[in-house]
Structure 1
Amino acid sequence: MKRFLFLLPFLIMLSFLLLFPDTSFTCAASGLMLWFETLLPSLLPFMIISNLLIRTDLLKKWIRIPSGLWHRFFALTCDGAYALLLGFVCGYPMGAKVTADLYRENRISKKEAEYLLTFANHPGPSFLSSYVCLQALGQKALILPTYCIIYLANYLCCLLFRKKADHSAIAADTCPPAGNEKEISIQSPLGEILDTSIMNGFESITKLGGYIILFSVFQGVIKKVFTPLGPVMYVMCGVTEMTTGITALAGTGWSLTFLYPMLLGITAFGGICVAAQTKSMLAGTDLSFGPYVWAKLTNFLLTGLLAFLFVEII
């Protein structure tokens, strides 16, 4: 039964591809262009450089100075803070990818990795400003409030799931000053490390492209089947694939009181497509996916509530 339920969406998509080839082609092409024009140029360089830094063991040289900040406010080691920073700068799903890479390289413990998954994988500032505020809502004035709401809700998630932090690893994480750190010994030639980092980056970005195309087609199925339901269909599109769903919701003409909390809530949640991408980034590890799911549902509620209060009060 589990296998049938897992395969059912793909059987539905296959039927959709055969019955509506023109619509399915348009949906797939839309997903492909989203990947090619947005994700490929914006994420691939970060993926390659991130892999290179992790494999050459240069992380603490970058983030050792504010070690007290990572320990006190986020309950993270200096290595774990790198996943938080990359997740913040790059957005989905770089936080999850760097977390998994650090865990594979034994830079962080399993407990810290699962704790990181509850708040280090979130939308990046460029996506929030350019896509959500300017393109979807058309309101430049909402950029700063959107930053505050999204990242405040994310930090509240960090506090709510703080009991999952690896406090023993934090106590042992001294992050020594630069003058006392020993020279790093690199086991493999730099050229080989660079090649491996490039191939790892291309493998990861190709996976993301496949997920985006699949979920774009599935979104076409939703629009075809649930169009008579109106608002429900738009919400389902947003929950399925965040980016195109946000565009669909923005075109409904709903009042800002309802639209803004819904858009930010879906952005904080990331959609099922981002969840699938995140799961794929954890492949080859024994990290549990449960903490991520619960944290994202919590983040959805917190973000929606903060956005609603902002619209109503401010």
Structure 2
Amino acid sequence: MTKHFRITSNNERFLITGIGGIKLTTFTLWFIWGMIFLLLFQPGIAHDGADFGLELFGEALLPYLLPYLILTQWLIRLPKKERNEGRAWLYTKTYAISAFGGFPTGAAAIAYLTKSGTLSRKDSSLLLAVCHSPSPMFLIGFVGVELLGKPFEGWKLLAIIHLVNLILLIFVYFKGGHVTNNSKKRAQETQFKSPSPLSDSLKESSNIILLVATTVIFFATISTVLSSLIANFMGPAADYYALGIFSALEMTTALQIAKDLFEQASLFPYIIAAILSLNGLSIHLQVLVIAKSAKIPIRPYIFLRFLHVLIVPFIYSLLQ
């Protein structure tokens, strides 16, 4: 029997469907306690998972994310001219920042512009949904060179992702709100409180990097423990179930596992494209935590992520 109930969070209501009257909070509690016991009874595997997540963060994410994150945070904190920026320029600038920095750089820039009053809530929610892509260095360097062995494949994926995003950017521009009238005043207040753009960008970047590292290592650990549990029951098929778990939870780890399992298979590039489109819960939580700090609505983000999962792999398959 299906039962419907409502929960309230941040003044928004979402309709949640429960099966057999089991509430979402009850399931969450069981899951948390289950993972705690799994970690306690498999400390060695949990340690291996944490090491794996730390290694991937240090080798695949930190070199490609940190320099761009600092520079983009520095850029948006530079003193502005004594005039209000139009929506078209703000959209273009914010998209460019996210395109070069990769996720969650776009979310961080949007959160700052929202807190400073430069972007309205409606504009920020739409931009959050569109300004979301891997950094060029990650796609070309890690995915193209290290995984696929062809830099051109990384460029191709980069072009497809940004083609889809730019089309959506034009669409949401006409659906957006407006730049807030108090942008000049709020920007001046922010600059007064933050007289050193570089120092503030370093501080903010360190917080974001810590968030990224935490989510990557946590989900790598959880995924490793769950994969080990599945391996005890699934036998030879366990690796494929593990790939599914990692794809849902932590993208970078899933990409590495996909290489180990399918590197010689003809389907390997398509699997990589699908995993990149999913992003994984780790990345989505990074974006949602940053968005929550600025009280940015997230429904457009969730909708367009589903759209990306359908469109990007399809276009990539057509171009192979």
- TM-score band, normalised by shorter chain: 0.7 to 0.9
Give the structure with the larger strand fraction: 2
Aligned equivalent of 1:204: 208
Q: Distance in 2 between matches of 1:162 and 1:88?
A: 17
Q: 1:285 aligns with which of 276, 294, 308?
A: 294
CA displacement 1:28-84 (0-9 Å, x = unmatched):
0121233334444443344444344434433899xx8xx8xxxxxxxx532333321
Q: Contact 2:227 / 2:241 at 8 angstroms: preserved in 1?
A: no
1:13-92 correspondence to structure 2 within 5 Å: 13-58=35-80, 76-92=87-103
Q: 2:113 aligns with which of 99, 102, 109?
A: 102
Q: Contact 1:123 / 1:268 at 8 angstroms: preserved in 2?
A: no
Aligned equivalent of 2:262: 253
Q: Distance in 2 between matches of 1:2 and 1:24?
A: 26
Residues 39 and 142 of structure 1: is their aligned pair in 2 closer, same or farther, counting only changes over 3 Å?
closer
Number of aligned residue pairs: 285
Q: 1:145 aligns with which of 150, 156, 160?
A: 156
Amino acid at match of 2:281: I
Kindly state the Cα deviation for residue 237 of structure 1 after the two structures are TM-superposed. Answer: 1.5
Give the alignment's TM-score, normalised by structure 2: 0.78
Unaligned runs of 5+ in 2: 1-22, 182-187
Q: Distance in 2 between matches of 1:196 and 1:240?
A: 31
Aligned equivalent of 2:123: 112
Q: Secondary structure at the match of 1:118?
A: helix
Aligned equivalent of 2:140: 129
Residues 44 and 148 of structure 1: is their aligned pair in 2 closer, same or farther, counting only changes over 3 Å?
closer
Residues 41 and 130 of structure 1: is their aligned pair in 2 closer, same or farther, counting only changes over 3 Å?
closer
Q: 1:307 aligns with which of 293, 316, 320?
A: 316
Aligned equivalent of 2:274: 265
Residues 131 and 50 of structure 1: is their aligned pair in 2 closer, same or farther, counting only changes over 3 Å?
closer
Aligned equivalent of 2:285: 276
Q: Distance in 1 between matches of 2:275 and 2:68?
A: 25
Aligned equivalent of 1:243: 252
Q: Distance in 1 between matches of 2:71 and 2:158?
A: 26
Q: Distance in 2 between matches of 1:59 and 1:80?
A: 17
Q: Distance in 1 between matches of 2:60 and 2:81?
A: 27
Q: Distance in 2 between matches of 1:237 and 1:54?
A: 34
Identity %: 21
Amino acid at match of 1:131: F
Aligned equivalent of 2:9: none
Amino acid at match of 1:120: C
Q: Secondary structure at the match of 2:277?
A: helix
Matched, 1:187 2:192: yes
Q: Which has the higher mean CA deviation after the structures are superposed, 116-125 or 13-22?
A: 13-22
Residues 162 and 195 of structure 1: is their aligned pair in 2 closer, same or farther, counting only changes over 3 Å?
closer
Kindly state the Cα deviation for residue 263 of structure 1 after the two structures are TM-superposed. Answer: 1.4
Amino acid at match of 1:259: F
CA displacement 1:251-310 (0-9 Å, x = unmatched):
223776533223112213311110011111113222122211111111011011111212
Q: Contact 2:64 / 2:137 at 8 angstroms: preserved in 1?
A: no
Q: Secondary structure at the match of 1:92?
A: coil
Q: Contact 1:31 / 1:212 at 8 angstroms: preserved in 2?
A: yes
Q: Distance in 2 between matches of 1:122 and 1:268?
A: 9
Amino acid at match of 1:14: I
Residues 79 and 218 of structure 1: is their aligned pair in 2 closer, same or farther, counting only changes over 3 Å?
same
Kindly state the Cα deviation for residue 125 of structure 1 after the two structures are TM-superposed. Answer: 1.1
Amino acid at match of 1:27: G
Q: Secondary structure at the match of 1:57?
A: coil
Kindly state the Cα deviation for residue 126 of structure 1 after the two structures are TM-superposed. Answer: 1.0
Q: Secondary structure at the match of 2:295?
A: coil
Give the alignment's TM-score, normalised by structure 1: 0.79
Residues 200 and 235 of structure 1: is their aligned pair in 2 closer, same or farther, counting only changes over 3 Å?
same
